């Protein structure tokens, strides 16, 4: 049996930088959450078709792991992947909540790709794997590189590791599911014209602790927070002072003080 952890992430800051080719561009600090992760296992099993257990509420065609499986098959000229998954099933143990701004689906897809690359000896470079992952989801390259902290920009395909002292985070995820597409749609309709790159100049050079202390306003730090509040007004009732908003929601976080 083969196994890998798929960690959650938080966005220390997330700023929209523009709109190009039908997609929003951004710059953001992604930080891996060490103590929150899904687990993916490849378990011996005679399977007629590619089989995933543990996410029955998601149609197979919509599952990011299945999309990663198809992308790897299309990329590889060998039959090693198909043969392997005729003798193994994918078992997902889910701990990261969905539609919570923690990147669970993207992390699952990236971890799956990394593990397949290893067990099937595909010899795909990390850069190539990240580029392949970017065709499935914007957050996947960050999870492919598996950095503890990184500045992510462009459509999500530019991932630059950021060296900073590790820190622990506390998460609060209310029972509110935020659809990323809807949050971006609200941002595009009402807030895109207000983008001003000079207001966050140099943020990518500051360590996360310093930035959160200096700015301390979740609305300023995350451009998607106002559009998430507009799209899901119930977030207004559960937000807490001193907590920050991750991604497109609905998770709030703060740094644990040692």
Q: What angle do CA 251, 112, 87 make, to 5 degrees?
A: 140
The single residue listed with the structure tokens 């951004």 is: 26
Cα dihedral sign, 46-49-52-56: negative
What letter would DSSP give residue 210? H
Can 139 be counted among the known catalytic residues? Answer: yes
Active site residue 108: no
**Strand-pair category, 52-53 with 23-44:** unpaired
Contact 173, 8 (CB under 8 A): no
Q: Which helix (H) or strand (E) holds 132?
A: helix 126-134
Q: What CA–CA distance (Å, rounded) separates 96 from 80? A: 30
Candidate list 38, 89, 108, 139, residue with the active-site label: 139
- 232, 176 contact by CB (below 8 A): yes
- The answer to whether residues 65 and 109 touch, using CB atoms and an 8 Å cutoff, is yes
What's the chain's Rg over C-alpha atoms? 18
- Tell me which of 5, 9, 57, 108 is the catalytic residue: 9
Contact yes or no for 86/44 (Cβ under 8 A): no
Which residues are tagged catalytic? 9, 139
């Amino acid at each position: 049996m083969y196994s890998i952890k798929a960690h959650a992430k938080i966005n220390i800051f997330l700023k929209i930088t523009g709109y190009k080719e039908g997609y929003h561009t951004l710059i953001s600090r992604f930080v891996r959450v060490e103590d929150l992760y899904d687990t993916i296992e490849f378990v011996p099993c005679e399977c007629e078709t590619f089989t995933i257990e543990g996410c029955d509420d998601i149609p197979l065609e919509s599952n990011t792991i299945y999309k990663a499986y198809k992308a790897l098959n299309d990329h590889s000229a060998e039959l090693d992947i198909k043969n392997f998954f005729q003798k193994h099933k994918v078992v997902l143990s889910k701990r990261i909540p969905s539609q919570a701004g923690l990147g669970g689906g993207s992390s699952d897809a990236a971890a799956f790709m990394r593990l397949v690359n290893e067990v099937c000896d595909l010899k795909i470079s990390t850069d190539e794997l990240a580029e392949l992952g970017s065709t499935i989801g914007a957050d996947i390259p960050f999870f492919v590189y598996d950095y503890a902290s990184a500045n992510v920009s462009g459509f999500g395909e530019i991932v630059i590791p950021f060296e900073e002292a590790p820190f622990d985070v506390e998460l609060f995820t209310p029972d509110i599911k935020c659809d990323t597409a809807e949050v971006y749609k609200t941002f595009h309709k009402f807030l895109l014209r207000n983008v001003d790159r000079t207001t966050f100049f140099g943020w990518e050079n500051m360590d996360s602790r310093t930035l959160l202390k200096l700015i301390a306003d979740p609305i300023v730090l995350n451009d998607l927070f106002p559009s998430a509040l507009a799209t899901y007004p119930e977030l207004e009732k559960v937000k807490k002072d001193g907590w920050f908003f991750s991604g497109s929601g609905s998770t709030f976080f703060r740094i644990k003080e040692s």
